[in-house]
Structure 1
Amino acid sequence: MEKPRQGWAGLFNISFGFFGIQIGFALQNANMSRVFQSLGSSLDDLPALWVAAPLTGLLVQPIIGHLSDRTWLGRLGRRRPYFLLGAVLAALSLFAMPQSDALLIAAVLLWVLDASLNISMEPFRAFVGDMLRKDQHTAGYAVQTAFIGAGAVVGSLFPYVLDHFGVSNEAAAGSIPDTVRFSFWAGGAALFAAVLWTVLTTREYSPEELQAYGDEAAPVDAGASLAGRSSAAPFWWIGAGALLALVTEQYALEKEVYLLALLLIGYGLISHIAIRLARAGRGANMLSSIVGDFSGMPELMKRLALVQFFSWSALFIMWINTTPVVAQNFFGSADPASAAYQDAGNWVGVLFSVYNGVAAVAALTLLPWLSRRIGKAKTHVACLLAGAAGYASFFVLTDPAHLLFAEVGVGIAWASILAMPYAILASSLPQAKLGIYMGLFNVFVVVPQLLVATVMGSIMKAFFPDQPIWTMAFAAGTLVLAAAAMLRVKVPGEV
């Protein structure tokens, strides 16, 4: 017995909430560097301020994935309660963000905003797998990607459109322009409305229905498998973190690298605790289950994880540095208080809207067409290389308007990054553990962002001081590495 086939209306309702979530992410990605610099942050401090976003994703998504696999709240279901909770918190954060009058307050609100968006986003990934039969997974994630692109276009264009309607785009030192302020407020309302649409228009399959469709009624606990694992592995993680801390101290690296060292030590400690609990016969707990599932990932997921690592390294480099790059190299100003810098910030919003718009179209047209002809794996390779070409073109283009062509390549890569790995995974993973596996897969979205946020500042300061354009070379190179790693991924049924 198979799940009913969803029509276009069903696919629309299942993923429409992601339209709102991506408005929130787009406002964050396109404007937070601008907000931080407007409140007094230096260029060198941006990666440290941005580290809150990936860190919250690293902590929140596996926990929410684990909990949502085990939740059932009657008519509200198991994924939708998390959609709703995250949407309420994210909307409140977007309403509060423009009121920030201090850098620390803005940084804390970014942390809250990103945690809230992750609470909603993670179950949406699993929701597509829950609601669709396997032969519709590619279509489901393509529709989700189209809504991500459309939401990002809307979120990215808000300040640019408001500026053209006469809303002030300038602000005194230490304050945020009205274009950004009103954009965050409108984005908060749109986010909540879109998520509420999905909550009200969809009905999740009950555990009994999932069992009838051949999905496991409850996830199998992986905590017990930890009992047979070596006790030495956690101490290797702890040792690596301690060594990194010593290197940071010895060579006076940027202080943000200490955070990466602490994360390595922290993972070693929780792994040690999880193994001890499992050996004591107490493996049926959230900590042991998450660590057990992480250490026991399927081989296909491990190979895709390396691809994600390089892909998201490039994306995070772009989100942090595009505004400073465009302002300095294409608008001739690195001063956040200048009108030219604020104009550059608005143009970055347009550029981001273009790559997201391209992604929305490519997800529904190019990706299905290519994947039918050359397979999902080769499609992803081709799209990643298109993105690398887009980043590299920042070095040969001179007119800000010509950057629109660069964003076409970036948009094609973005569409594939959001769709193809998840379509491959959803058809290959145990359905009853889809939430936790999607949450753990996000680790390889978050870790590279943390690496960029902690290490990129040291690299740029040492080799390319006050030359942010070189970050685009790093972005292009890491997408090439992602494409090379994708060549090792063998999708079942593809040559």
Structure 2
Amino acid sequence: MQTQQPRLNFWQIWNVSFGFLGVQFGFALQNANVSRILSDLGADLHSLSLFWLVAPIMGLLVQPIVGSASDRTWNRLGRRRPFILAGAIAAVVGMVLLPNAPIFVAFMAPMIMGAMMVALMDASFNVCFQPFRSLVSDMVPAEQRNIGYSVQSLLINIGAVIGSILPFVLTNVVGLSNTAQLGEVAPSVVWAFYIGATVLLGSVIWTVVRTKEYSPEDYYRYKGVKPEDIDQVESKPPLKERLQGFFVLVVNMPKTMKQLAVVQFFSWFALFIMWVYTTPAITQHIWNVDKKWFDPAYIATVPMVPETIIMAKGAAGDWVGILFAAYSVFAAIFSIFLAKLADKVGRKVVYAGSLALGGISYVSFLFFQDLTSVNVNLLITEVTVPAGAVNLMLPMVGIGIAWAAILAMPYAMLAGALPPNKTGVYMGIFNFTVAAPQIVSGLTAGWILSSVFDNDAKYIIVVAGVSMLLGALSVFFVKEPDELPPPVIEGETP
């Protein structure tokens, strides 16, 4: 009887993660356009980060629950795939309804409807994310773990590229309008969400159909779980006992996981700021739109928003999609070399160096303002934008490298430190280290922007850079499982 987990060929590894392409397609659309949508629906700069809190809160609530449930689930679809498919279906509903929030004005304010759909999307994305991470851990043997998470990172970034650039393509190639008055959503954004919903569902179905999970007997044998421990893994104790057990797991999480949490804090604090405030930062700093045009109270005092401001906001919003696509392209390229580079020089060196490049790139936003109009050939179309917008492609290289490392390295470093029978729940708990810093960022970034920087959004991007640099330093304090001393067995002398 075979006890060693079979190696997978490249296409098997590809199929395991392919659905993540669609999930990240939808997530990229959200990241690049939710601030734009919420601003168009009436949110001011200070409140933007508060609306974005929905995302990490949903992750905090959903992922540990889904992780624990998927550890105990075995049915015709497998262990992780039922949750991936259910999350995708719910996400599609949110993606179709979010850009149509103004239609529901007779029932509720568009802002409330928008916030509810963001919450649904984020909860659904999180139902997909955690089982996908665990699916790779389940299906890919330890010696292929670097390549497994690197392929996942590659697919994530392919999806992010397409999702980020789609509204720009729909405007500049298809010809849909990218402008919207207060209380509306641009047609190019509406159709981008429809297309994203279709891609998300199709790619997830591909993974569900093309990936066959191991039977419980095979899985436990490959992972070295003893027969006497199987009942404990699959049992569902009373709620009070489960809560107590969950608390014990958190307190006794592996040391590597605790150390990675510090790195995750600084990394995700920075990423949250980027996703929330890149659009206003670019609009103000590169398109030279005065910050007063991001204040709904001021806008309410004028007869109408000048057409030049509307056009500048639409163009800047589209260019943010190009920039986000660019960093995803660079992340995808770096992902190809990530596994071999980590094998050669070590995960920590690659991880720390990547975060440092990302931090420097955020800070460099200050130095790329140039209002000179230039014509840019993007192969699919030509556009005229400020030269500073083109120059921002350079820091996208460093941000893309950091993003690729964030998607792969902590999970590759963590996977070997987790007990096989608790992988799902610990991957869910590890999402605390993704959600908590975003919550802190959401509660503080808006206040910092308004109170310290007087709503000059470029400076909050610099704060993100400093945070990312601190994350790079923190990597060197992480001890991977093979660097830790062996556990002391009771009765032995250490």
Q: Does structure 1 residue 378 correspond to structure 2 residue 352? A: no
- Match of residue 196 from structure 1: 205
* Paired residues, number: 435
**What is the one-letter code of the residue matched to 1:100?**
A
Q: 1:3 to 1:325 in 2, by over 3 A?
A: same
CA apart distance, 1:284: 7.3
Q: CA deviation at 1:220?
A: 8.7
How far does residue 291 in structure 1 lie from its aligned partner after superposition?
A: 1.6
Is the contact between residue 38 and residue 111 of structure 2 (CA under 8 Å) also seen in structure 1? yes
1:174 match: secondary structure:
coil
Q: Which residue number corresponds to residue 463 of structure 2?
A: 474
Cα deviations by residue, 1:327-359 (Å, 9 ceiling, x for unpaired):
000011243661101100000000000111111
SS at match of 1:173: coil
Task: State how 1:222-301 maps to structure 2 within 5 Å.
Answer: 285-301=241-257
Distance 1:190 1:219 in 2: 38
Match of 2:184 in 1: 175
C-alpha displacement of 1:460: 2.0
- Match in the other structure for 1:277: none
Q: Is the 8 A contact 1:304 1:421 kept in 2?
A: yes
Q: Counterparts of 2:184 and 2:116 in 1: how far apart (Å)? A: 17
CA distance in 1, matches of 2:238, 2:68: 17
Q: Write the distance in 2 (CA, Å) between the matches of 1:203 and 1:180.
A: 36
Which residue of structure 2 lines up, in the alignment, with residue 209 of structure 1? 218
Q: Is the 8 A contact 1:219 1:433 kept in 2?
A: no
Call closer, same or farther: CA 1:351–1:219 in 2, change over 3 Å.
farther
Gaps of 5+ in 1: 223-280
Q: Is the 8 A contact 2:360 2:469 kept in 1?
A: no
Quick one: distance in 2 between partners of 1:105 and 1:316? Answer: 22
2:380 is aligned to none
CA distance in 2, matches of 1:452, 1:31: 19
Asked if the contact 1:20/1:191 (under 8 Å) is kept, the reply is yes
Structure 2 residue aligned with 1:486: 475
Residue among 413, 426, 449 paired with 2:438: 449
Q: CA RMSD in A?
A: 1.7
Q: 2:416 aligns with which of 400, 424, 427?
A: 427
Q: Is the 8 A contact 1:220 1:433 kept in 2?
A: no
The structure-2 alpha-carbon separation of the partners of 1:43 and 1:72, relative to structure 1 and needing over 3 Å to count, comes to: same
Give the Cα–Cα distance (whole angstroms) in 2 for the partners of residues 444 and 377 of structure 1.
18
Deviations 1:309-336 (A, max 9, x none): 1110010010000000000000112436
Aligned to 2:329: 357
Residues 253-310 of structure 1, C-alpha deviations (whole Å, 9 max, x = no match): xxxxxxxxxxxxxxxxxxxxxxxxxxxx968743223222111101111001111111
Q: Secondary structure at 2:392's aligned position in 1?
A: helix
Taking the aligned partners of 2:341 and 2:398, their CA distance within structure 1 comes to 15
Aligned counterpart, 2:400: 411
The answer to whether the 8 A contact 1:54-1:446 is kept is yes
Question: In structure 2, do the counterparts of structure 1 residues 282 and 204 end up closer, same or farther at CA, with 3 Å as the change threshold?
Answer: closer
Identical columns (%) = 41
1:325 is matched with which residue?
281
Bigger CA drift: 191-200 or 421-430? 421-430
- Give 2:96's aligned amino acid: F
1:163/1:169 contact within 8 Å kept: yes
Distance in 1 between residues matched to 2:222 and 2:24, nearest whole Å: 31
Answer yes or no: is 1:117 the counterpart of 2:125.
Answer: yes
Query: Quick one: distance in 1 between partners of 2:74 and 2:179?
Result: 49
Q: Aligned equivalents of 1:403 and 1:53: distance in 2?
A: 27
Deviation at 1:440, TM superposition (A): 0.5
Please tell me whether residue 104 in structure 1 is matched to residue 106 in structure 2.
Answer: no
- TM-score, with structure 1 as normaliser: 0.85
More divergent stretch after superposition (328-337 vs 115-124):
328-337
Distance 1:219 1:125 in 2: 22
Cα distance in 2, alignment partners of residues 370 and 469 from structure 1? 33
Tell me, in whole angstroms, the C-alpha distance in 1 between the residues paired with 2:463 and 2:469: 10
Structure 1 counterpart SS, 2:224? coil
- Which whole-Å deviations, capped at 9, do the CAs of 1:97-134 have from their partners, x for residues lacking one? 11101111001100010000100111000110100110
2:165 aligns with one of 150, 153, 157: 157
Amino acid of the residue matched to residue 17 of structure 1? G
CA distance in 2, matches of 1:379, 1:343: 36
1:79 paired residue number: 80
Q: C-alpha displacement at 1:462, in angstroms? A: 1.8
Q: Any conservation in 2 of the 1:221–1:289 contact (CA below 8 Å)?
A: no
Distance 2:321 2:287 in 1: 14
Separation in 2 of the partners of 1:209 and 1:462?
Answer: 58
The answer for unaligned runs of 5 or more in structure 2 is 103-109, 295-304, 370-387, 485-494
What letter is aligned with 1:403? L
CA–CA distance in 1 between the matches of 2:138 and 2:61?
A: 23
Amino acid at match of 2:314: Q
**C-alpha displacement of 1:455:** 1.3
